[in-house]
Copies of this chain bind each other. A is one copy, B any other.
Amino acid sequence: MISGKHKLAQPDPDDVPKAVINRLSLYLRELQHLLRNGKTTISSSQLGRLFGFTDAQVRKDLTCFGQFGHPGIGYRCEELVVAIRRILGTDRVWTVALFGVGNLGRALLGYKGFSAKGFQIVAAFDADPHKVGSMIDGVCIEPMDRLDDVVARQQIQLAMITVPAAVAQAVADLAIEAGVAGIVNFAPVTLSVPDDVSLVGVDLATELEQISFSVANRDKSG
Protein backbone atom coordinates (compact mmCIF):
# COMPACT_ATOMS: atom_id res chain seq x y z
CA MET A 1 0.00 0.00 0.00
CA ILE A 2 2.76 2.39 0.96
CA SER A 3 5.88 2.27 -1.14
CA GLY A 4 8.90 4.46 -1.77
CA LYS A 5 6.96 6.17 -4.55
CA HIS A 6 3.83 7.54 -2.94
CA LYS A 7 0.81 8.12 -4.99
CA LEU A 8 0.21 11.75 -4.12
CA ALA A 9 -3.29 13.13 -4.12
CA GLN A 10 -3.42 16.22 -6.31
CA PRO A 11 -5.82 18.77 -4.92
CA ASP A 12 -6.47 21.92 -6.91
CA PRO A 13 -3.76 24.31 -5.59
CA ASP A 14 -6.38 27.04 -5.17
CA ASP A 15 -8.28 24.80 -2.72
CA VAL A 16 -5.31 24.39 -0.39
CA PRO A 17 -5.05 27.20 2.19
CA LYS A 18 -1.76 29.08 2.23
CA ALA A 19 -1.41 28.18 5.91
CA VAL A 20 -1.25 24.45 5.05
CA ILE A 21 1.62 25.07 2.64
CA ASN A 22 3.39 27.19 5.24
CA ARG A 23 3.05 24.32 7.71
CA LEU A 24 4.41 21.83 5.17
CA SER A 25 7.43 24.15 4.78
CA LEU A 26 7.90 24.06 8.55
CA TYR A 27 7.54 20.27 8.73
CA LEU A 28 10.02 19.87 5.89
CA ARG A 29 12.65 22.05 7.52
CA GLU A 30 12.32 20.21 10.83
CA LEU A 31 12.32 16.73 9.21
CA GLN A 32 15.51 17.58 7.31
CA HIS A 33 17.03 18.77 10.58
CA LEU A 34 15.98 15.52 12.34
CA LEU A 35 17.41 13.42 9.51
CA ARG A 36 20.77 15.18 9.74
CA ASN A 37 20.73 14.29 13.44
CA GLY A 38 20.13 10.62 12.67
CA LYS A 39 16.42 10.39 13.56
CA THR A 40 14.58 8.12 11.12
CA THR A 41 10.95 8.11 12.33
CA ILE A 42 8.60 10.53 14.08
CA SER A 43 4.96 10.45 15.21
CA SER A 44 2.42 13.11 14.29
CA SER A 45 2.22 14.22 17.92
CA GLN A 46 6.02 14.56 18.19
CA LEU A 47 6.13 16.52 14.94
CA GLY A 48 3.22 18.72 16.00
CA ARG A 49 4.68 19.40 19.44
CA LEU A 50 7.74 21.01 17.83
CA PHE A 51 5.47 23.77 16.52
CA GLY A 52 2.66 23.79 19.06
CA PHE A 53 0.22 22.02 16.71
CA THR A 54 -1.96 19.06 17.66
CA ASP A 55 -1.29 15.61 16.18
CA ALA A 56 -4.70 15.87 14.47
CA GLN A 57 -3.58 19.07 12.72
CA VAL A 58 -0.42 17.42 11.42
CA ARG A 59 -2.33 14.39 10.14
CA LYS A 60 -4.99 16.60 8.54
CA ASP A 61 -2.37 18.70 6.75
CA LEU A 62 -0.73 15.62 5.29
CA THR A 63 -3.90 13.66 4.49
CA CYS A 64 -4.82 16.33 1.90
CA PHE A 65 -1.99 14.90 -0.17
CA GLY A 66 -1.95 11.17 0.56
CA GLN A 67 -1.40 8.53 3.17
CA PHE A 68 2.05 8.76 4.74
CA GLY A 69 1.88 7.25 8.23
CA HIS A 70 2.88 3.67 9.08
CA PRO A 71 0.91 1.89 11.83
CA GLY A 72 3.05 1.52 14.96
CA ILE A 73 5.91 3.50 13.41
CA GLY A 74 4.59 6.95 12.56
CA TYR A 75 6.21 8.78 9.70
CA ARG A 76 9.48 7.72 8.15
CA CYS A 77 11.41 11.00 8.04
CA GLU A 78 13.16 10.39 4.74
CA GLU A 79 9.98 9.24 3.01
CA LEU A 80 8.09 12.28 4.27
CA VAL A 81 10.87 14.65 3.17
CA VAL A 82 10.68 13.22 -0.35
CA ALA A 83 6.88 13.46 -0.36
CA ILE A 84 6.70 17.03 0.98
CA ARG A 85 9.34 18.22 -1.47
CA ARG A 86 7.29 16.65 -4.26
CA ILE A 87 4.10 18.32 -2.93
CA LEU A 88 5.79 21.71 -2.61
CA GLY A 89 7.38 21.33 -6.03
CA THR A 90 10.85 21.81 -4.58
CA ASP A 91 12.05 18.41 -5.83
CA ARG A 92 13.20 20.18 -9.01
CA VAL A 93 15.08 23.34 -10.00
CA TRP A 94 13.02 26.47 -10.66
CA THR A 95 14.42 29.26 -12.77
CA VAL A 96 13.66 32.71 -11.43
CA ALA A 97 14.04 36.21 -12.85
CA LEU A 98 14.32 39.20 -10.55
CA PHE A 99 12.74 42.50 -11.56
CA GLY A 100 14.16 45.61 -9.91
CA VAL A 101 17.72 45.69 -8.59
CA GLY A 102 17.31 48.15 -5.71
CA ASN A 103 18.33 47.37 -2.13
CA LEU A 104 15.77 44.59 -1.71
CA GLY A 105 16.59 43.15 -5.14
CA ARG A 106 20.30 43.08 -4.30
CA ALA A 107 19.52 41.45 -0.96
CA LEU A 108 17.47 38.73 -2.68
CA LEU A 109 20.22 38.15 -5.28
CA GLY A 110 22.61 37.47 -2.41
CA TYR A 111 20.15 35.44 -0.32
CA LYS A 112 21.58 31.94 0.19
CA GLY A 113 18.32 30.29 1.20
CA PHE A 114 16.83 30.25 -2.30
CA SER A 115 19.23 28.01 -4.18
CA ALA A 116 19.26 25.51 -1.30
CA LYS A 117 15.56 24.96 -2.04
CA GLY A 118 15.99 24.73 -5.79
CA PHE A 119 15.19 28.33 -6.67
CA GLN A 120 17.87 29.74 -8.95
CA ILE A 121 17.82 33.40 -9.83
CA VAL A 122 19.29 33.23 -13.34
CA ALA A 123 18.44 36.72 -14.60
CA ALA A 124 17.78 40.20 -13.25
CA PHE A 125 16.20 43.19 -14.96
CA ASP A 126 16.36 46.88 -14.20
CA ALA A 127 15.20 50.02 -15.97
CA ASP A 128 18.28 52.00 -14.92
CA PRO A 129 20.85 52.00 -17.79
CA HIS A 130 23.63 52.56 -15.23
CA LYS A 131 22.85 49.19 -13.65
CA VAL A 132 22.40 47.26 -16.91
CA GLY A 133 25.42 45.16 -17.83
CA SER A 134 26.82 44.91 -14.30
CA MET A 135 27.07 41.59 -12.48
CA ILE A 136 25.70 40.98 -8.97
CA ASP A 137 26.27 37.62 -7.26
CA GLY A 138 26.95 36.04 -10.63
CA VAL A 139 23.82 37.38 -12.31
CA CYS A 140 24.01 39.91 -15.16
CA ILE A 141 21.58 42.86 -15.01
CA GLU A 142 19.58 43.02 -18.25
CA PRO A 143 17.51 45.85 -19.75
CA MET A 144 13.73 45.33 -19.89
CA ASP A 145 13.70 45.27 -23.69
CA ARG A 146 15.61 41.98 -23.59
CA LEU A 147 12.88 40.38 -21.46
CA ASP A 148 11.22 38.10 -24.04
CA ASP A 149 14.57 36.96 -25.29
CA VAL A 150 16.03 36.16 -21.86
CA VAL A 151 12.88 34.44 -20.54
CA ALA A 152 12.74 32.20 -23.63
CA ARG A 153 16.47 31.42 -23.75
CA GLN A 154 16.82 30.76 -20.00
CA GLN A 155 13.40 29.09 -19.76
CA ILE A 156 12.43 31.28 -16.84
CA GLN A 157 9.41 30.04 -14.89
CA LEU A 158 9.02 32.44 -11.97
CA ALA A 159 9.34 36.18 -11.43
CA MET A 160 10.30 37.99 -8.23
CA ILE A 161 9.17 41.60 -8.33
CA THR A 162 10.97 44.24 -6.25
CA VAL A 163 10.30 47.33 -8.38
CA PRO A 164 8.53 50.42 -6.95
CA ALA A 165 4.78 50.00 -6.41
CA ALA A 166 3.88 52.43 -9.20
CA VAL A 167 5.38 50.22 -11.93
CA ALA A 168 4.84 46.76 -10.41
CA GLN A 169 1.66 45.95 -12.37
CA ALA A 170 3.24 46.98 -15.67
CA VAL A 171 6.31 44.83 -14.94
CA ALA A 172 4.11 41.89 -13.93
CA ASP A 173 2.12 42.20 -17.17
CA LEU A 174 5.32 42.13 -19.23
CA ALA A 175 6.71 39.15 -17.30
CA ILE A 176 3.48 37.20 -17.80
CA GLU A 177 3.40 38.07 -21.50
CA ALA A 178 6.96 36.80 -21.76
CA GLY A 179 5.82 33.48 -20.26
CA VAL A 180 6.41 33.30 -16.50
CA ALA A 181 3.92 31.08 -14.65
CA GLY A 182 4.28 32.42 -11.12
CA ILE A 183 5.04 35.73 -9.44
CA VAL A 184 6.32 36.55 -5.97
CA ASN A 185 5.51 40.21 -5.42
CA PHE A 186 7.45 42.23 -2.85
CA ALA A 187 6.13 45.61 -4.06
CA PRO A 188 3.62 47.05 -1.58
CA VAL A 189 0.67 46.91 -3.99
CA THR A 190 -1.91 44.27 -4.89
CA LEU A 191 -1.34 42.91 -8.40
CA SER A 192 -3.95 41.38 -10.65
CA VAL A 193 -2.92 38.44 -12.80
CA PRO A 194 -4.77 35.98 -15.08
CA ASP A 195 -6.23 32.81 -13.50
CA ASP A 196 -3.51 30.58 -14.91
CA VAL A 197 -0.71 32.58 -13.27
CA SER A 198 0.15 31.98 -9.60
CA LEU A 199 0.72 34.97 -7.37
CA VAL A 200 2.06 35.38 -3.84
CA GLY A 201 2.29 38.81 -2.26
CA VAL A 202 4.93 39.28 0.44
CA ASP A 203 4.20 41.88 3.09
CA LEU A 204 7.23 42.20 5.35
CA ALA A 205 5.17 44.05 7.96
CA THR A 206 3.11 40.95 8.82
CA GLU A 207 6.18 39.51 10.52
CA LEU A 208 6.29 42.59 12.71
CA GLU A 209 2.61 42.15 13.58
CA GLN A 210 3.48 38.67 14.80
CA ILE A 211 6.06 40.08 17.17
CA SER A 212 3.96 43.04 18.35
CA PHE A 213 1.12 40.62 19.13
CA SER A 214 3.44 38.47 21.16
CA VAL A 215 5.12 41.31 23.06
CA ALA A 216 1.88 43.25 23.63
CA ASN A 217 0.07 40.25 25.08
CA ARG A 218 3.05 39.26 27.19
CA ASP A 219 3.01 42.78 28.66
CA LYS A 220 -0.67 42.44 29.56
CA SER A 221 -0.28 39.10 31.25
CA GLY A 222 2.91 40.15 33.06
A40 to chain B, nearest CB (A): 22
Q: Is A3 an interface residue (CB 8 A)?
A: no
Partner of A211, one of B17, B22, B113, B182: B182
Among residues of B, the one whose C-beta sits closest to the C-beta of A219 is B181
A3-46 interface bits toward B, Cβ cutoff 8 Å, 1 = contact, 0 = none: 00000001111111111011111000100000000000000000
Interface size on A, residues (CB 8 A): 72
At the interface, yes or no: A157 with Cβ under 8 Å from chain B?
Answer: yes
Residue contact B206 to A25, C-beta cutoff 8 Å: yes
The chain B residue with its CB closest to the CB of A203 is B113
Please give, as numbers and ranges, the residues of chain B lying within 8 Å of A92 by CB-CB distance: 216
A189 to chain B, nearest CB (A): 10
List A150-197 residues whose CB lies under 8 Å from chain B: 157-158, 160, 181-184, 188, 196
Q: Give complex CA distance A117, B87 in Å.
A: 35
Among A67-75, A104-112, A124-132, A141-149, the one that faces the other chain is A104-112
Q: Does A134 contact B (CB under 8 A)?
A: no
Residues of B close to A209: CB separation below 8 A: 21, 24-25, 88-90, 117
